[in-house]
Structure 1
């Protein structure tokens, strides 16, 4: 599970299914596969949609709109 806060992620677009692959200690980033292609903002939207559903938290994309390396912010759940 990814904790609330800012995190680096590296995405792999066009995957068979969206999933969290794991943590890449070398890059200091989570590796995440997304099922959408990296065109017309589809992969970014799928990344946010998938993580929001998976984590049950609000997720925002802060940096890396046109890169596979991104910075996201996971906001804590409201009580």
Structure 2
């Protein structure tokens, strides 16, 4: 069995622009989850709906922060 191929995790040349465009995506994620909850007939004032909105927001926020750290680290290494 062959070992798994190496994954290149180095940000590409367009990475910093993608991070800059991410502003507001937390709100976009919450809005999309709200749409999905409504479509599923979930009560938007339920604990589960609140938890789903919080998780979506946290995941997007963490992804944006991680992307920014990678972009800063890349600029510093030049």
Give me the TM-score of the superposition, normalised by structure 1: 0.28
Higher helix share: 2
Give me the TM-score of the superposition, normalised by structure 2: 0.29
Higher strand share: 1
Q: Report which structure shows greater RCO (CA 8 Å, sep ≥6).
A: 2
